[in-house]
Amino acid sequence: MNILLVLAHPEPDSLNGALHRFMLERLAASGHSVRTSDLYAMRWKPALDADDFPARDSAVRFDPSLESLKAFEAGTQTADIAAEQQKLLWADAVIVQFPLWWYSMPAILKGWFERIYAYGFAYGVGEHSETHWGDRFGEGTLAGKRAMVVTTTGGWASHYAPRGINGPMDDLLFPIQHGILYYPGFDVLPPYVVHRTHKVDAAAYARITEELGQRMDMLFTADPIPFRPQNAGDYKIPALTLRPDIAPGQAGFAVHSAPTAGRG
């Protein structure tokens, strides 16, 4: 299968750098084709701006969304944006790896999504009607592909527990896993999270690579997070609120995943 490893860490000689190389070797050894987007090494341009649209009419006010649609449809996107979109289309699975900085992804990675997720590519796709609010959240350009977050934190696991002060890790990752990855169609696997990065010694590293290696081996067989598809009946359209009879009385990120037999 084809696998894209996306990495956002500025130092190759870091835990993230080592885990990136570990995954690359493990997946290649399993017979997969692996490509990488090492954003710092590529000196990826982080900010979406008018420079991204060299063919645009600069006399018109800049609308990032509409310009991205025009450039995508006309084939006038910049080469760096088009190349990354092609990698996503090529991939059967994408692993998005980053240190958790201020409770989210580093700016350079956020800007990777902002710039390559063009209108017409990652959103604004499909029928938009009273029964189908675009191909998104379960449908879309990237449907049928898998995605997985691999992230690291300096803090302890308990700080990210259900009642930990930082908020639960699943909730911190919801805007990424549901809002960025599930949105254009990816099936999203549970994340792999390393805590207390400054305490990772040889024994911890051996455990981490054992676990992460197993996760790589199960990349195409593990069950994805059971996010609810938007257009299959669970949501009222166009309000896009969950039907009252589903998870009645509950609210928050968790209601957008279906309970599974294997879960507590």
**Can you tell me which of 69, 82, 107, 212 binds a second copy, judged by CB under 8 A?**
107
Query: Which residue in 239, 260, 261, 262 binds a second copy (CB under 8 A)?
Result: 239
Cα→Cα distances 240→133, 237, 247, Å: 9, 5, 15
Q: Is 211 in a helix, a strand, or coil? A: helix
234: closest CA among 247, 225, 243, 245? 243
Position 220 contacts a second copy (CB under 8 A):
no
Q: Which is nearer to a second copy, 190 or 213 (CB)?
A: 190
The reply on whether position 14 binds a second copy by CB under 8 A is: yes
Residue 193 in the binding site for a second copy (CB under 8 A): no
Residue count at the site for a second copy (CB under 8 A)?
A: 64
CB atoms within 10 A of CB 260: 9
Check residue 59 for interaction with a second copy (CB under 8 A). Answer: no
> Is residue 196 involved in binding a second copy (CB under 8 A)?
no
Interacting residue with a second copy among 26, 56, 70, 110 (CB under 8 A)? 110
Residues 251, 254, 260, 264: is their CA dihedral positive or negative? negative
Restricted to residues 134-173, the positions that interact with a second copy (CB under 8 A) are: 137, 154, 156, 158-159, 161-168, 171-172
- Burial class, 21, CB count within 10 angstroms (exposed 0-12 / middle 13-18 / buried 19+): middle
What is the spatial distance between Cα 243 and Cα 258, in angstroms, rounded to a whole number?
A: 13
Please identify, among the stretches 57-65, 86-94, 200-208, 209-217, the one whose residues bind a second copy according to the rule CB under 8 A. Answer: 57-65
Is 179 one of the binding residues for a second copy (CB under 8 A)?
yes
Q: Is 255 in the site for a second copy (CB under 8 A)?
A: yes
Contact 187, 91 (CB under 8 A): no
Q: How far apart are CA 123 and CA 141, in angstroms?
A: 8
93 near a second copy (CB under 8 A)? no
Helix axes 79-90, 107-116, angle to 10 degrees: 90
The phi, psi pair for 128, rounded to 5°, reads -125, 100
The verdict on 47 binding a second copy (CB under 8 A) reads yes
Would you say 165 or 261 has its CB closer to a second copy? 165
Contacting positions for a second copy (CB under 8 A): 10-11, 13-14, 40, 44, 46-50, 61-65, 101-108, 110-111, 113-114, 117, 137, 154, 156, 158-159, 161-168, 171-172, 174-175, 178-180, 183, 230, 235, 238-242, 250-256
